[in-house]
Amino acid sequence: MFKTIGILILFTAILLFQLPKLKQNGEKKEIWTFSILLFISTTLCIAVALKVKIPNPFDLIIVIFKPMGEFITMALK
């Protein structure tokens, strides 16, 4: 629980430090992108701190491209 609170404090500090600069320059797209990426990274950091098993994105790539590679290999023989 203390790790989660620490992570939330850290990411809130990052938000409070960066957001005024983006607002000052009127960068609305950058604000949305920054907010979405900060939310995703906060969620992942909290999940890691709570020892939640996070799937490896490379496994999904293997599942998608392995059958295609086998098909291409079979087609070229």
CA distance 24 to 52: 38
Quote the pLDDT of residue 1.
81
Quote the pLDDT of residue 46.
94
In this predicted model, what pLDDT tens digit does every residue of 2-60 receive, in sequence order? Answer: 889 999 999 999 999 998 888 888 888 999 999 999 999 999 999 999 999 988 889 98
pTM: 0.69
